Amino acid sequence: MPAPTYWDYLHLPELLHCQGGLDGSPSPDELHFIIVHQTYELWFKLVLTQLRLARDHLAAPHLPEERVPFVVHHLGRVNAILRLCVDQFAVMETLPPQDFLEFRDKLTPSSGFQSFQLREVEMLLGLTMERRIKYAGTDPIEHIRSQATTDSGRAVVAQLEATMAETSLRDALISWLGRTPIMGSSPGTEGDEAVVNAFLAAYLARVEAHQREGGEQLVKVLGGTDADKIHARVEMALGGVRGFLLPDGAEERRARAALLFIESYRHLPLLAWPRLLLDTVVELEEQMVLFRHRHARMVERTIGRRVGSGGSSGVEYLDQTTSYRIFPELWNVRSCLLPRERLPELTGEGRYAFA
């Protein structure tokens, strides 16, 4: 067998022959357009692999402490790729608006809207069909289905449906949070619900006192102006805190209590990695929002406010998608946190020490 070569190992001859576009002879600007898109799709492929690896660890019925760093590792790689993807729009922006118009019409109605891999990323993260923003009444997945009239299209739809049936990172994360010991108590053990409720009640009382004190201080330094408005704002924020910490469902309540517990007592040795894991997920969501936002600004710079080649309202639709939050709990918990010296007294501390 001949020695392996760089070009055969990477299948470069095949890879470098996939930039022909629709007619096999793209202009230099169109070649630029194609290559930028293709590199994104390669990154999306890697993102999907890493998300599945992270999800598989988290979805296991038991996640040993020593495996949490692997989840952080895979998600950290996703974040590094997404940061690059955000920056990469600068390369796309070297295409002047008028030069794009030279070949834009022949692409219609194809669009990044049909990027099935980005849809898979969204599904694997946990964006549900109900929460998707529709454009002109069309759901993005339905849109792909309606356009999938060839063999390649049918393969794309099959791939999307298989991904849709997988456990999402969100579901795996919430179920892992639900299993986290709180104040030394694990789910399924006697008195666990009472421990969780007592922790939440003690925490809530302290948050109320802390945030009301903060409001009073603000009124004082502002010289008493707008006191009523500030008090009303504090009470409204506290209403949000109560709604978040005391949801009706017991499972939801336990998962949120775990989130609060991990964020609050992160100095405990066994909570250090879980807290890092949560932060990595927050960063992932932040990068997704930045990606959507950066794409929308690049689009606005290139085509202005015209209708998208896929038929959406263009920038207006894209800006709406920046409101997606797949992990709202991880953001909401930040409104509830207390400084360390005001935390409820810890019980069961020994459970969180190194063995």
Chain residues in the site for ligand HEM (CB under 6 A): 36-37, 40, 92, 95, 100, 111-113, 115, 118, 140, 295, 299, 302-303, 308-312, 314, 317-318, 321
- Residue 334 C-beta: closest distance to ligand HEM, Å: 25
Whichever of 38 and 186 has its CB closer to ligand HEM, that residue is: 38
CA distance 284 to 125: 10
**Which amino acid is it at 159?**
Q
Q: Give the residue from 353, 355, 163, 343 showing the smallest Cα distance to 261.
A: 343
Whichever of 135 and 176 has its CB closer to ligand HEM, that residue is: 135
Whichever of 37 and 154 has its CB closer to ligand HEM, that residue is: 37
Whichever of 70 and 324 has its CB closer to ligand HEM, that residue is: 324
Q: Give the residue from 45, 54, 48 showing the smallest Cα distance to 76.
A: 54
Q: Give the residue from 16, 8, 54 showing the smallest Cα distance to 35.
A: 16
CA distance 120 to 160: 6
- Residue 57 C-beta: closest distance to ligand HEM, Å: 27
Q: Identify the DSSP state of 310.
A: T
- Residue 286 C-beta: closest distance to ligand HEM, Å: 16
Specify the residue for token string 């070569």.
5
Whichever of 49 and 108 has its CB closer to ligand HEM, that residue is: 108
Whichever of 168 and 309 has its CB closer to ligand HEM, that residue is: 309
- Residue 136 C-beta: closest distance to ligand HEM, Å: 9
> How far is CA 67 from its chain centroid?
21
Whichever of 211 and 321 has its CB closer to ligand HEM, that residue is: 321
- Residue 288 C-beta: closest distance to ligand HEM, Å: 10
Whichever of 92 and 259 has its CB closer to ligand HEM, that residue is: 92
Q: Give the residue from 77, 104, 112, 72 showing the smallest Cα distance to 280.
A: 72
List helix spans (H) across 126-191.
140-147, 151-164, 169-178
CB atoms within 10 A of CB 105: 8
Peptide bond into 109 cis (omega under 30): yes
Whichever of 207 and 315 has its CB closer to ligand HEM, that residue is: 315
- Residue 168 C-beta: closest distance to ligand HEM, Å: 17
Using an 8 Å Cβ cutoff, are 317 and 243 in contact?
no
Q: Identify the DSSP state of 312.
A: S
**Strand ranges (E), 206-267:** none
SS3 label, residue 18: coil
List helix spans (H) across 115-226.
116-125, 140-147, 151-164, 169-178, 192-221
* Buried-exposed string 314-345: b where 16+ CB fall within 10 A, e elsewhere: bbebbbbbbebebbebbebbeebebeeeeebe
- Residue 131 C-beta: closest distance to ligand HEM, Å: 12
Specify the residue for token string 């760089």.
6
